[in-house]
Amino acid sequence: MSLKSVKTLLTLFGIIALVSCTDQAPVSQANGPAAPPAGSEAASEQIGVERWNSAEQVVLGSEVFTQNCAVCHGAQAQGAVGDWREKLADGSFPPPPLNGSAHAWHHPQEILLRVIDYGGEAMGGKMPAFIDVLEDHEKLAAVAYFQSFWTDDIYQQWMQMGGTN
């Protein structure tokens, strides 16, 4: 084989290597929650992440949620309709899933509790205020309940975005 054809071959291999690299570029993150980058803290600590709440709080939260929230958000916090991002005919948003598949995990604890306290009515939404309906420990338990459906992955992303801090 001549030196020239060796060079051509090497160039070809180079191109192939480049192409296969781009093939492995990060998949579009437009759909659903973004996966944490490999090797990040979230990816390496996926098993048995410790939560802020106790198991008892989830049990109480299940009662609170069933009685006050499930009618709109679904018994397992799965939401009401197919697409929580799509406005209803009256221009309001449907009750979103709180089970980690929608948006709730973008909000730190403080904001979640504020939504529960004041509802969405002030912002033109439909959720009623619970400030005078539930005790503080019941609101926290309700949060613990719907968070029990979150994967550790989602939970850790929530913690990184503010969480209970």
Binding positions for ligand HEC, rule: CB under 6 A: 68-69, 71-73, 92-93, 95-96, 98, 102-104, 107, 112, 115-116, 119-120, 125-128, 130, 142
Min separation Cβ 78 and ligand HEC, Å:
13
Dihedral angle at the C-alpha atoms of 64, 92, 103, 145, nearest 10 degrees? 10
Q: Which is nearer to ligand HEC, 73 or 155 (CB)?
A: 73
| Nearest-CB residue for ligand HEC | 120
Query: Which residues, at least 6 apart from 53, have a Cβ–Cβ distance to it below 8 Å?
Result: 140, 141, 143, 144, 147
Q: How far is the CB of 87 from ligand HEC (least distance, A)?
A: 10
Taking the complex as a whole, the smallest distance from the CB of residue 12 to ligand HEC amounts, in Å, to 51
In the bound complex, what is the minimum distance in angstroms from residue 88's beta carbon to ligand HEC? 9
Q: Which is nearer to ligand HEC, 7 or 103 (CB)?
A: 103
Nearer to ligand HEC by Cβ, of 1 and 59: the residue is 59
Measured from the CB atom, the residue of 44 and 164 that comes closer to ligand HEC is 164
- At a CB cut-off of 8 Å and minimum separation 6, what does 162 contact? 107, 108, 109, 110, 111
Contact between 142 and 68 (Cβ < 8 Å)? yes
134/11 Cα distance (integer angstroms): 70
User: What is the spatial distance between Cα 15 and Cα 145, in angstroms, rounded to a whole number?
Assistant: 52
Q: What's the number of CA atoms in the CB half-sphere (13 Å) around residue 92?
A: 12
State the minimum distance, in angstroms, from the CB of residue 93 to ligand HEC: 5
